[in-house]
Amino acid sequence: MSGIKQVLKQSPVFSTIEEDDVENLDAIFDKWDVHAGDILATIGDPAQYFFLLEKGIVLLAMDGGKSVVLNACGDFIGMELLSAKGKYNTTLTVLEDGCVYVIPRRAFLKIIQEDTQVADAIMSSWQIFLDQTAPFAKDIEDASLPDKF
């Protein structure tokens, strides 16, 4: 079993999807080694990627002093937690060496826009994860996908 499959199974956002869907997602994610001090996203830059943490620690900092430290295997860093209207609305800084799996933003948005069980499972789990991790991130403008994220 590859690393990404294990991380998907441990992720609060992806753990409820079926094995076939895990196989499909496996092909979309790339693995990046990250090092303390790396900046993975900067506020205002075009949003290109979402991230799934395998190991390490990352700080997600928003304007206004709100922030989240993510350090659990399977933490998903995407959607309104990371971007709005195609721009990063946070700065994502690596605090401790580790690795992340990266999915192109557009590829992920395409998956969740489909009328499928995998999209429903991801979105339901995402709302729970967001409520527990950073409920303040939900306070963005209501707009249609994909521009919302």
**What phi, psi does 101 have (nearest 5°)?**
-100, 135
pLDDT of residue 19: 85
* Tens digits of residue pLDDT in 1-16: 459 999 999 999 999 9
User: Which are the contacts of 82, defined by CB distance < 8 A and separation ≥ 6?
Assistant: 41, 47, 50, 51, 60, 88, 89, 90, 92, 149
What residue ranges do the domains of the chain occupy? 3-131
CATH number of 3-131: 2.60.120.10
**pTM of the prediction?**
0.89
pLDDT over threshold 70, residue 22:
yes
The Cα 71–Cα 95 span in angstroms is 10
* Tens digits of residue pLDDT in 65-123: 889 999 999 999 999 889 988 999 999 999 999 999 999 999 999 999 988 999 999 99
Mean pLDDT, residues 46-56: 96
What average pLDDT is seen over the chain?
89
Strands (E), the chain: 30-34, 39-41, 49-62, 67-70, 76-77, 83-84, 87-88, 90-104
Burial pattern 82-100, b for ≥16 Cβ within 10 A else e, equals: bbbeeebbbbbbbbeebbb
Confidence of residue 23 (pLDDT cuts 50, 70, 90): confident
pLDDT over threshold 90, residue 24:
no
Confidence of residue 64 (pLDDT cuts 50, 70, 90): confident
